[in-house]
Amino acid sequence: MKAFKTEKYNDFTKPAIRQKMEKALAMTRSAFGKEYSIIIGGKKIKLDNKFHSYNPSKKGEIIGTFQKADENTAEQAMQAALETYQSWQYTPAKVRANCLFKIANIMRRRRFELDAWMVHEVGKNWIEADADVAEAIDFCDYYGLEALRYDKGATLYTYPGEINKTVYIPLGVGTVIPPWNFPLAILVGMTTASFVSGNTVILKPSSDSPVIAAKFMEIVEEAKVPVGVVNFLSGPGAIAGDYLVRHPKTRFIAFTGSKGVGLRIIEQAGKAQPGQIWIKRVVAEMGGKDLIIVDSEADIDSAVAGVRTSAFGFQGQKCSACSRLILDDKVYDEFMRKFIPTVEAIKVGPTENQENWMGPVINESAYNSILEYIKIGASEGRLACGGEPAGGNGWFIRPTVITDIEAKDRIFQEEIFGPVLAVTRARNYDHAVALANDSEYGLTGAVYTRNRAKLERAKREVNVGNLYLNRKCTGALVGIQPFGGFNMSGTDSKAGGPDYLLLFLQAKSLTEFIGKKNAVKKAPKKQARTRVKPKRRKTAKKRR
């Protein structure tokens, strides 16, 4: 069995790597406008009602056309998943894990293609897109190995006259609802964790990134995952998604998205439906209002670089993105003097061009919402830079920094999910920690300081699921930094960690009585042998 290691990122400064990416961008662009089917039990289905996926870098440009699933289609998917589950639940873990290893290898081969689709469909820059694919590969390898580990069962103490085991068995049919901001990594992570555990899946991707989800389904088919294990259902969550969340045969829901939608799912899943014989399990990651503290004893240059990347990587459209910067009063002026020029130097534009580090926000609704929050923030504090559209024919917004923000202000408390950073002045380290914890969220945070005692205090007191010390607050690695948050950030499901597959399994304790008479007895100690000299036989003397 191979040991797990994270996938390396591509180096786009190398001409050969850059050329492969440019070729993939051209190839995928030539496939714009293709129509994709719903896939249920291996059958490809087209419906009368359709919708489009659009390029956020070029308003109105259609990336792909999709079927708008309804409740009837969702029911078909449920029945297919239920039927397949009858056999898939007993499929050996080694076979299930091997499906994930095959998927990982296919993604390695199609890596530049997948990178390119993310550049087109969600506006990721080349590095962010490649990191997304690398994380998806890591999830496959890691969860495949984890499935083999769980297949061994739990380690128990022994008891005379009995054979005792605890085994882990699947739950049933699950609905997976991934987000658009990590359209491959999170989708792959939640889906593969579900079916490698022996469950079957109804995958309902975001309507903002269905092409990437469709490409994953192509890979699932290429890896020869049995039909019906993963069923692909495109369409609005309010129709197909709500129906499946309430369905009495749904055993679990894995969701990543906004707090409002997540709480609605938890509420609906908590109501037992006629014919439902279990308590539905909900795995939910619901966003954050993440922070970075820069202490008076911090390395300012390192902190400037970390905050810039954390706040504006992928246009701030990460649940882990830094949206609250808490600066100690003693370093406030120095930090801002160094920080603002680095923000103003960020190039914004279509990310097909590698020189553009920041691309568009995902759609018109997000664009309008972010600009409205900028107006609110400017009225609450002082606009230091950005604060306006970046021009072009896409949903581009300049990276925005708003200073003099207080804890009571809306942009300090509410998730914006865009390139907007609220800066707050702390009187001292005590005040900084208090500000950090003044939030209903608790996903990620970072603390920059050279003071060891302050770092140890942060470990104890800063209430987030992922805390980083003297580094940026984004970029968790599978198997190294298990990811998930506290409070309204979700169920702290710790994706990419050793506990994650337990969310898709249930423990079954097995005891077999064999009785004392039939109990395995210890072998008796070997007695030392005593050497007995054999008696000499009397023989007649030979006559001479």
Q: In the numeric block, which tokens belong to residue 286?
A: 């619901």
Mean pLDDT, the chain, rounded, equals 95
**How would you classify the pairing of strands 322-328 and 466-469?**
unpaired
**Rounded-to-integer distance, Cα 542 and Cα 539, Å:** 9
DSSP 358: B
Pairing status of strand 200-203 against strand 230-232: parallel
Would you place residue 515 in the very low, low, confident or very high pLDDT band (cuts 50, 70, 90)? Answer: confident
**Residue (of 114, 122, 58) closest to 361 by Cα position:** 122
Catalytic residue among 113, 285, 352, 415: 285
**φ, ψ dihedrals at 517, nearest 5°:** -65, -35
Q: Is 319 one of the catalytic residues? A: yes
Residues near 193 by beta carbon (within 8 Å), at least 6 away in sequence: 139, 143, 254, 495, 500, 501, 503, 504
| pLDDT above 90 for 2 | no
In the predicted structure, residue 220 carries a pLDDT above the cut 50: yes
Q: Residue range 125-137: average pLDDT? A: 98
pLDDT greater than 50 at residue 544 = no
Spatial distance between the Cα atoms of 286 and 289, rounded to a whole number of angstroms: 11
User: What are residue 114's DSSP bridge partners?
Assistant: none
- pLDDT band at residue 533, thresholds of 50, 70 and 90? low
Which pLDDT does position 539 carry in this prediction?
43
pLDDT band at 236, cuts 50/70/90? Answer: confident
Q: Are 109 and 276 in contact (CB under 8 A)?
A: no
Q: What is the pLDDT of residue 525?
A: 62
Would the pLDDT of 534 be above 90?
Answer: no
Q: Which of 97-106, 221-230, 373-382, 514-523 has the lowest mean pLDDT?
A: 514-523
User: One of 99, 140, 319, 322 is an active-site residue; which one?
Assistant: 319
Range 511-522 average pLDDT: 72
Q: Count of H helices and E strands in the chain?
A: 16, 21
Residue 501: how many other CB atoms lie within 10 Å:
19
530 has a pLDDT exceeding 50: no
Strand locations in 33-74 (E): 34-35, 38-40, 43-45, 50-54, 62-67
Measure the CA angle with vertex 202, ends 198 and 204; round to 5°.
Answer: 140
Please list the residues that pair with 35 across neighbouring strands. 65
Residue 536 scores a pLDDT above 60: no
pLDDT over 60 (residue 120)? yes
pLDDT of residue 537: 45
pLDDT in tens, 431-456: 999 999 999 999 999 999 999 999 99
280 SS3 class: coil
Cα 115 to Cα 53, 134, 405: the distances in Å are 17, 10, 37
Alpha-carbon gap, residue 105 to 544, rounded angstroms: 91
DSSP 328: E
Tokens standing for 528? 């030392």
Measured N-to-C along each axis, helices 126-151 and 93-109 cross at an angle, to the nearest 10 degrees, of 170
pLDDT band at 227 (very low <50, low <70, confident <90, very high): very high
Is 90 exceeded by the pLDDT of residue 1?
no
Q: Mind listing the pLDDT tens digit for each residue in 481-500?
A: 999 999 999 999 999 999 99
Mean pLDDT of 157-162: 95
Tokens of 195: 């079916």
Reduce the DSSP state of residue 441 to 3 states and report it.
strand
CA-based nearest residue to 443, from 291, 307, 276, 310: 291
Q: Render pLDDT for 385-411 as a digit per residue (tens, 0 to 9).
A: 999 999 899 999 999 999 999 999 999
Structural domains in the chain, sorted by start? 15-286+497-506 (3.40.605.10), 290-480 (3.40.309.10)
Burial (CB < 10 A; 0-12, 13-18, 19+), residue 518, is exposed
Rounded to whole angstroms, the maximal C-alpha distance in the chain is 134
pLDDT in tens, 277-315: 999 999 999 999 999 999 999 999 999 999 999 999 999
Instruction: pLDDT band for 522, please (50, 70, 90 cuts).
Output: low
Q: Given pLDDT bands bounded at 50, 70 and 90, which one contains residue 540?
A: very low
- Give the pLDDT confidence score for residue 425 in this predicted structure: 98
